[in-house]
Chain A
Amino acid sequence: EPEVTQTPSHQVTQMGQEVILRCVPISNHLYFYWYRQILGQKVEFLVSFYNNEISEKSEIFDDQFSVERPDGSNFTLKIRSTKLEDSAMYFCASSEMGSSYNEQFFGPGTRLTVL
Chain B
Amino acid sequence: AQTVTQSQPEMSVQEAETVTLSCTYDTSENNYYLFWYKQPPSRQMILVIRQEAYKQQNATENRFSVNFQKAAKSFSLKISDSQLGDTAMYFCAFTNTDKLIFGTGTRLQVFP
A contact set with B: CB distance below 8 Å? 3-4, 31, 33, 35, 41-45, 48, 55-56, 58, 91, 95, 98-109
Is the pair A108, B102 in contact by a Cβ cutoff of 8 Å?
no
Give the A-B pair count, Cβ closer than 8 A.
59
Q: Which interface residue of A33, A100, A103, A108 has the most chain B CB atoms within 10 A?
A: A100
Is the pair B44, A104 in contact by a Cβ cutoff of 8 Å?
no
Is the pair B45, A42 in contact by a Cβ cutoff of 8 Å?
no
Q: A4-B44, A101-B33, A108-B43 are in contact. Are A48 and B99 (CB under 8 A)?
A: yes
B contact set with A: CB distance below 8 Å? 4, 32-33, 37, 42-47, 50, 52, 91, 95-105
Is the pair A107, B99 in contact by a Cβ cutoff of 8 Å?
no
Is the pair B45, A106 in contact by a Cβ cutoff of 8 Å?
yes
- Give the residues in chain B near A103, CB-CB below 8 Å: 47, 50
The 7 closest A-B pairs by CB, nearest first: A43-B102, A106-B45, A108-B44, A42-B104, A45-B99, A98-B98, A106-B44
